[in-house]
Amino acid sequence: MNKLELLRTFVRVSELASFTQAADSLGLPRSSVSQQVQTLETLLGTRLLQRTTRKVQPTQDGLVLYERSRDMLANMDELENLFRQDATQLGGRLRIDMPTGMARRLVTPRLGEFLHRHPLIELEISSSDRRVDLVREGFDCVVRVGEVHDSSLVARPLGHFAMVNCASPAYLAQYGMPQSLDDLAQHRLIHYVGVLGTRSDGFEYQVDGVTAYRSMPGNITVNNIDAYEGTCLGGLGIIQAPLVGMRALLDEGLLCSILPAYLPAPMPVSLLYAHRHQPQRVRAFMHWLEALITEETSA
């Protein structure tokens, strides 16, 4: 068994604190992952992981090996690709998470371009509106839209998404076209929250570069972009969303832009990853995604 593969398996089990999750992440049977860790322990002559019925955690020796192995594996991946001039030779599995709307509207329709350049890379794309645990769930990088508050991760700014206020033609036929903030008292807002049970801040807008909010009635609260978009299309209220996700619906006349003078601040887009030294395949995807977002935000 290749010693580097043994180390990769050990690092994955340590990060996920689970043989089962590590096996899923690596695409291996659980028995193989367990055997590889045992082989590594025998090779080094020490216990690396403390196994209990509930979780797996590194021993003191395991922690030392984990810290050294993580950087060494990243450097080894770099060395393996150092002299490859042909980008099509980059290979390996790449696991990414991004918001649902961004995946559907912007990234997945263009993925063919990336795979044409790097046909040997295998992509695993998760799209959800929840905040995934990058390390525990085995992601190489995640895209976040909005402010980033996790100081344990490296954040690479990619740009800002312009915002738009939207309502459906059916909604506007019933409630009228709002012309001012005062008109919003007679309208309905579809509330968006990260966690159900919390309250939204209301209608967001900027005054001289300062963010302000106006409370609005509305009897629907959602926590994902599909429901947000669907309820707006159903004529149930006003939404505020990144223009990139709404542009096609606006162009088709399924939604209408309203109150263009009262828009929320553009939302920052960031790429998050756990370690500064990333494999070349990860960096290749980062560069491609950054160019894609730059093209979108400058349009």
- Provide the pLDDT confidence category of residue 1 given band limits of 50, 70 and 90: low
Cβ atoms of residues 86 and 30 within 8 Å: no
pTM of the model: 0.67
Cβ atoms of residues 133 and 87 within 8 Å: no
Domains observed in the chain:
3-80 (1.10.10.10), 87-161+268-297 (3.40.190.10), 163-265 (3.40.190.10)
| Selection from 19-23, 81-85, 129-133, 166-170 with the highest mean pLDDT | 166-170
Average pLDDT over residues 128-157: 78
Residue 88 tokens read as: 């099509």
Average pLDDT over residues 178-187: 94
Average pLDDT over residues 216-223: 91
In 257-271, which positions are buried (b, 16+ CB within 10 angstroms) versus exposed (e)? Answer: ebbeebbbeebbbbb
pLDDT at 234: 95
Average pLDDT over residues 35-61: 85
Average pLDDT over residues 66-86: 66
Average pLDDT over residues 22-50: 86
| Selection from 4-13, 111-120, 145-154 with the highest mean pLDDT | 111-120
Q: Which of 81-85, 93-97, 118-122, 170-174 has the lowest mean pLDDT?
A: 81-85
Residue 290 CB contacts under 8 Å (≥ 6 apart), including other chains:
156, 158, 159, 271
pLDDT at 277: 67
Q: How far is CA 193 from CA 101, 158, 167, 241, in A?
A: 15, 24, 18, 13
Cβ atoms of residues 124 and 285 within 8 Å: no
Q: What is the three-class DSSP state of 200?
A: coil
Cβ atoms of residues 50 and 15 within 8 Å: no
Q: How far is CA 43 from the centre of its chain?
A: 38
Nearest-angstrom CA–CA distance, 242 and 139: 24
Cβ atoms of residues 74 and 277 within 8 Å: yes
Checking if the pLDDT of 217 tops 60, the result is: yes
Average pLDDT, the chain: 85
pLDDT at 230: 94
pLDDT at 141: 85
pLDDT at 120: 83
Checking if the pLDDT of 58 tops 90, the result is: no
pLDDT at 172: 97
- Single out the residue of 283, 266, 291 nearest to residue 94, CA to CA: 283
Average pLDDT over residues 229-241: 95
- Provide the pLDDT confidence category of residue 52 given band limits of 50, 70 and 90: confident
Phi, psi of 278 (to 5 degrees): -110, 145
- Provide the pLDDT confidence category of residue 88 given band limits of 50, 70 and 90: low
Nearest-angstrom CA–CA distance, 279 and 53: 34
